[in-house]
Amino acid sequence: MLLINFFDTDYISALIPVKTFCPERIIFLSDHTNHHSQGPVFLQDTIARFYDKHNPPELEFFGVDADDLHAIEDTLRELIGKNKNEDILLNITGGSVQMGIAAFGASFRFANVSPICVDRGSNVIMNVLTQETIAELAHITLDDYISVIGAERRGNSKSIPPENMFDAVKEVSEMIFAHEETWHALCDYLVRYTRSYDIGSPFHLPKTAKYNRKSFAIRFMMDKIAECGFVRKVNDSLYAYVSGQYKSYLMTYGSWLELYVYIHAIKYFDDVSVGVQVDWTKHDYFQTLDNEIDVLAMKNSEPYFISCKMTEPTIQNLYEIGYVATHVKGIYAHPILATTYPVRQRKKGPSELLERVRKLHIGLIEAEDFKTKSVKKVFKDATVK
């Protein structure tokens, strides 16, 4: 089987038929600008993941003018003519409008050509002419997506707690969200005075700690954290870390929101990672402002970039998450801001944060949303089309 594919800005629709059918031969047509970039290299590397290493497909790449319908038709006619004795699947999705029109027209002129399209809504690949479902599509994973955009996963900065601790994480997180200044005071104290303590070694915790020149009673919070199993309480003023993993949660101010969003996200998305460190320079050769994605998720082959902020988000934060989601060649990428800050309540005018979120087409999740809506509705409401 020969698959003729287009790719323009929608790399995922170009990859899905490859992963679904694993054809012996693949021909890609792309715009000249993509053809001479590293796009074909990233595609080739990603496609290799779908095959046994001893049985790689034959890949060919042809550059065309994506806006020149006649040039695309001529190239297709020539390629199909050279392969007239072979069954050909011609994917009309993934390229420019002109590419799709040319592919659809070619399907009427050649009996050995079946035009197909990726229908993500129904999770199938169908024959455009007969409306027949050919196959259930094989979805693209997070690692596939990271590979095809030319990035590299550098690992995760945060480890996930065991599943039997998920409810405890949510309980501690919701307490922290309700007393953020107290948590700030406690976290600052732990970072400054207990970082060097070994696991199991008791450390003293005072009744109060300061944040922003104010004193906060902090032991009630540490007692709750101990009750939930993240530290051990020795006596009224002594506590001990029970693991390096849980110690790291208490040393990082914003980690609880990331874990909270992650634990809810795994109920909705197909694939979720937290604290993903990515080397974007493989893709665009310059250092972006942030190489860590707080929560990276995939659903129905669409990537979601979720930035978690336990402080008032800044305009810079919005630009960063919007940049990451749109710059890396993903027209189906969804940027989402998750925050404990009451963005909706503090709207004052068109220059305020909520208006900026809307204008930049960024989805919004406030931590309180998970208490008032189903997980599915929270994430669907935050998906900006």
pLDDT of 368: 95
Average pLDDT over residues 343-363: 76
CB 113 within 8 A of CB 90: yes
pLDDT of amino acid 287: 47
Identify the weakest region by mean pLDDT among 35-39, 71-75, 101-105: 35-39
- Tell me if 173 is assigned to some domain: yes
Answer with the one of 97, 121, 138 that is the final residue of a domain. 138
Please give the residue that has the higher pLDDT: either 275 or 131.
Answer: 131
Is 235 found in the same domain as 313? no
pLDDT interval class at 308 (50, 70, 90): very high
Under the banding of pLDDT at 50, 70 and 90, the label for residue 361 is: confident
Same domain? 132 vs 175: no
Q: Give the tokens for residue 53.
A: 């290493």
Higher pLDDT, 142 or 202: 202
pLDDT at 312: 86
Predicted confidence band of residue 27 (pLDDT cuts 50, 70, 90)? very high
Asked if residue 15 and residue 114 are part of one domain, the reply reads yes
Q: Is 150 part of any domain?
A: no
87 three-class SS: coil
CATH number of the domain residue 326 falls in:
3.40.1350.10
Q: What percent of the chain has pLDDT above 70?
A: 89
40-44, 88-92, 153-157: which range is least confident on average?
A: 153-157
Phi first, then psi: give them for residue 237, nearest 5 degrees: -125, -5
- CATH assignment at residue 100: 3.40.50.10770
Residues 128 and 23 in one domain: yes
Q: Which residue has the tokens 């309180």?
A: 368
276 and 342 in a single domain? The answer is yes
Give the pLDDT of residue 106. 84
Kindly report the average pLDDT of the chain as a whole number: 87
Q: Over 50: is that where the pLDDT of 371 sits? A: yes
Tell me the per-residue pLDDT of 101-119, one tens digit each, with 9 for 90 and over. 888 888 888 888 999 988 8
The long-range contacts involving 203-212, CB below 8 angstroms and separated by at least 24 positions, are: 203/238, 203/239, 203/240, 204/237, 204/238, 205/237, 205/238, 205/239, 206/237, 207/237, 209/185, 210/185, 211/181, 211/182, 211/184, 211/185, 212/181, 212/184
Does residue 49 share a domain with residue 112? yes
C-alpha distances out from residue 16 to 98, 206, 214, Å: 21, 57, 55
Contact predicate 247/239, CB 8 Å: no
349: Cα within 13 Å, side-chain hemisphere: 1
Mean pLDDT along residues 360-381: 94
Residue 347, pLDDT score: 60
Residue 37 has pLDDT above 70, yes or no: no
DSSP assignment of 279-317 equals: ETHHHHSS--S--EEEEEEEETTEEEEEEEESSPPPHHH
What pLDDT is attached to residue 36? Answer: 53
Query: Do 39 and 128 reside in the same domain of the chain?
Result: yes
> At which of 251, 276, 301 does a domain end?
251
Q: How confident is the model at residue 285 (pLDDT cuts 50, 70, 90)?
A: very low
Q: How confident is the model at residue 195 (pLDDT cuts 50, 70, 90)?
A: very high
The answer as to whether 324 is a domain residue is: yes
Residue at 214 is within a domain = yes
Q: Could you report the per-residue pLDDT of 80-98, keeping only the tens digit for each?
A: 989 988 999 999 887 778 8
Same domain, 127 and 239: no
Q: pLDDT band at 290, cuts 50/70/90?
A: low
Number of structural domains in the chain:
3
Q: Clarify whether residues 77 and 187 are in a common domain.
A: no
235 token code pair: 């006596």
Q: What is the pLDDT of residues 217-263, one digit of tens each?
A: 999 999 999 999 999 999 999 999 999 999 999 999 999 999 999 99
Do 130 and 27 share a structural domain?
Answer: yes
Specify if 111 maps to a domain.
Answer: yes
Is a pLDDT exceeding 90 seen at residue 170?
Answer: yes
For residue 149, tell me if it sits in a domain. no
Domain of 371? Answer: 266-381
Same domain, residue pair 277 and 247: no
156 three-state secondary structure: strand
Of 122, 138, 154, the position where a domain reaches its end is: 138
| Run of H or E including 177 | helix 166-178
Residue with tokens 């200044």: 181
Instruction: Please give the helix or strand (H or E) that residue 380 lies within, else none.
Output: helix 375-381
Residue 288: pLDDT band by 50, 70, 90 thresholds?
A: very low
Phi, then psi, of 3 in degrees rounded to 5? -110, 120
In a domain, 147, yes or no: no
Strand partners, 198: none
CA angle 52, 54, 56 (to 5 degrees): 70
Position 19 scores a pLDDT of: 94
Instruction: Give the residue, 305 or 290, on which the prediction is more confident.
Output: 305
pLDDT value of residue 375: 97
Q: Is residue 155 part of a domain?
A: no
Per-residue confidence (pLDDT) for residue 152, from 0 to 100: 65
What is the chain's alpha carbon radius of gyration, rounded to the nearest angstrom?
Answer: 25
Residue 156: predicted pLDDT: 59
Q: 337: left (phi > 0), else alpha (psi -120 to 50), else beta?
A: beta
Share of the chain above pLDDT 90, in %: 50
Please indicate, yes or no, whether residues 169 and 65 belong to a single structural domain of this protein: no
